[in-house]
């Protein structure tokens, strides 16, 4: 269709390309003598404003405001920090209970680059300090809290302090909690990442990630150049969807947490459920830490139905809850970790972690909780 406008101005209207008035202006912008946009992989106003909105939320209670880099996915956010801050010969120390894709990223991408991997229980203070004392090659500690899928919590203030004492960086995946419920930077953590695909977008309409840090120097000189070269930048369209989703983030997180607590209590009393993992339950091993570290326990929980067949029958019987391998949406989503999010792990590794074949993970949505309870109860009848 001929709109009567030159192609360059139409591209400009779409918000992806930037048009220079003349060659001199282009040169000045490239040289940094004039402030301006060049090309969306290098930077884009919509992308930058959403990154800074998330960074401001993550540092809301601090004197210094954090900076953020929006990425094309949560995985690219994790890879960016690890590849930007670690070198061959360095060791990355992680907690065992992590999203399966992250474990595969470390094993299949970082390890072949010469970055060694080590796993330890980060809740064991003495063991962690002994390891940091013995291994000066440990340059970064990585964890999720609450973790995927067992919702274990890690004391961020403690690991950040231990890491600092040994001149080591910390990187925390705050996807499950969001900055509304937990702010790792305030506890001394160096880098925070999110899969914005999840709660920050909140509506299952896009894939994205973000890195946030108070370390301007590292963000500007180590991570941003790599992000541009690796091409992991977010698109302005995805950024706009995150921007829209974030308008309701505090309201959603409150409702997700309320609904999840009610459901966790129901499941804990149900005779067909072997165990429930939810940091808002008094029976959860990290209940006190979660109370201290989080504003509320969030919308994620998992529970064990005792075996693979029971899990399959339960998931297939659900009518309102949706079977889909993601989380953090307004709708209630269910997965079977052993065959979905954690399929990249060997069965014996899953078993050692406690990710049994009977485990079901629920991302509790913001629907009417009575509807959710009746769907879950009718599906449990089939188990
Ligand atoms: N972190 C957690 C806790 C996740 O559950 C996921 C994906 O499910 C990721 C990171 C990766 O995010 P993305 O799928 O946006 O790359």
For the stretch 71-85, pLDDT in tens is 999 999 999 999 999
What share of the chain in percent tops pLDDT 90?
91
What is the rounded distance in angstroms from the CA atom of residue 258 to the CA atom of residue 295? 12
* Residue among 348, 24, 84, 75 at smallest CA distance from 215: 84
Pick from 99, 145, 200, 204 the residue to mutate for probing ligand 1's pocket: most ligand atoms within 8 Å of its CB.
99
What is the rounded distance in angstroms from the CA atom of residue 291 to the CA atom of residue 278? 12
Pocket residues: Cβ below 6 A from ligand 1: 73-75, 99, 101-102, 144, 148, 173, 175, 195, 197, 207, 209
pLDDT of residue 322: 97
* Residue among 300, 209, 204, 295 at smallest CA distance from 244: 204
Whether 41 is a known active-site residue: answer yes
Pick from 197, 201, 234, 340 the residue to mutate for probing ligand 1's pocket: most ligand atoms within 8 Å of its CB.
197
What is the rounded distance in angstroms from the CA atom of residue 328 to the CA atom of residue 99? 14
246-299 pLDDT, tens per residue?
A: 999 999 999 999 999 999 999 999 999 999 999 999 999 999 999 999 999 999
pLDDT of residue 175: 98
* pLDDT beyond 70 at 154: yes
- Give the other-Cβ count within 10 Å of 276's Cβ: 22
* pLDDT beyond 50 at 2: no
Catalytic residue among 152, 183, 198, 252: 198
24-47 pLDDT, tens per residue?
A: 999 999 999 999 999 999 999 999
How large is the angle between the packed helices 125-134 and 156-165, nearest 10 degrees? 20
| Residue bearing the CA closest to ligand 1, atom 13 | 74
pLDDT of residue 12: 54
Mean pLDDT throughout 89-118? 96
Q: With beta carbons less than 8 A apart as the criterion, state whether 227 and 79 touch.
A: no
pLDDT of residue 14: 53
* pLDDT beyond 80 at 342: yes
pLDDT of residue 16: 79
Confidence of residue 345 (pLDDT cuts 50, 70, 90): confident
296-322 pLDDT, tens per residue?
A: 999 999 999 999 999 999 999 999 999
pLDDT of residue 1: 43
167-178 pLDDT, tens per residue?
A: 999 999 999 999
pLDDT of residue 281: 98
* pLDDT beyond 90 at 6: no
Q: With beta carbons less than 8 A apart as the criterion, state whether 377 and 269 touch.
A: no
Cβ contacts of 66 within 8 Å, gap of 6 or more: 55, 56, 58, 59, 185, 212, 213, 214
Atom of ligand 1 nearest to the CA of 175: 3
Q: Exposed (0-12), middle (13-18) or buried (19+): which is 178, by Cβ within 10 Å?
A: buried
167-215 pLDDT, tens per residue?
A: 999 999 999 999 999 999 999 999 999 999 999 999 999 999 999 999 9
Atom of ligand 1 nearest to the CA of 208: 15
What is the rounded distance in angstroms from the CA atom of residue 353 to the CA atom of residue 362? 18
């Amino acid at each position: 269709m001929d709109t009567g406008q030159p192609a360059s101005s139409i591209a400009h209207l779409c918000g992806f390309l930037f048009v220079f008035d003349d060659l001199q202006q282009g040169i000045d912008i490239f040289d940094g003598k004039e402030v301006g946009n060049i090309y969306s992989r290098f930077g884009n106003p919509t992308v930058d404003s959403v990154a800074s909105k998330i960074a401001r939320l993550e540092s809301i209670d601090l004197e210094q405001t954090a900076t953020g880099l929006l990425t094309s996915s949560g995985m690219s956010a994790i890879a960016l920090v690890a590849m930007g801050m670690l070198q061959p010969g360095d060791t990355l120390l992680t907690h065992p209970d992590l999203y399966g894709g992250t474990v595969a990223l470390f094993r299949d991408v970082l390890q072949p680059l010469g970055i060694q991997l080590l796993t330890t229980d980060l809740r064991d203070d003495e063991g962690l300090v002994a390891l940091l004392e013995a291994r000066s090659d440990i340059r970064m500690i990585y964890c999720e809290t609450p973790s995927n899928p067992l919702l274990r919590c890690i004391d961020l203030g403690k690991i950040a302090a231990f890491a600092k004492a040994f001149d080591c960086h910390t990187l925390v995946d705050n996807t499950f909690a969001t900055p509304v419920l937990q702010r790792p930077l305030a506890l001394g953590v160096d880098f925070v990442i999110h899969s914005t695909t999840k709660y920050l977008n909140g509506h299952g309409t896009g894939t994205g990630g973000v890195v946030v840090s108070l370390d301007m120097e590292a963000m500007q000189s180590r991570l941003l150049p790599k992000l541009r070269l690796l091409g992991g930048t977010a698109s302005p369209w995805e950024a706009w969807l995150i921007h829209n989703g974030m308008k309701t983030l505090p309201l959603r997180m409150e409702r997700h947490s309320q609904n999840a607590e009610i459901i966790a209590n129901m499941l804990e009393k149900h005779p067909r459920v072997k165990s429930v993992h939810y940091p808002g339950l008094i029976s959860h091993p990290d209940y006190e830490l979660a109370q201290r570290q989080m504003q509320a326990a969030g919308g994620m929980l998992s529970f064990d139905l005792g075996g693979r067949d029971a899990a399959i029958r339960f998931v297939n019987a659900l009518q309102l809850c949706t079977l889909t391998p993601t989380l953090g949406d307004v709708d209630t989503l269910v997965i079977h970790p052993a065959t979905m999010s954690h399929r990249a792990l060997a069965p014996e590794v899953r078993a050692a972690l406690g990710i049994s074949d009977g485990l079901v993970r629920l991302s509790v949505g913001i629907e009417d909780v009575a509807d959710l309870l009746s769907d879950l109860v009718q599906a449990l009848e089939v188990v």
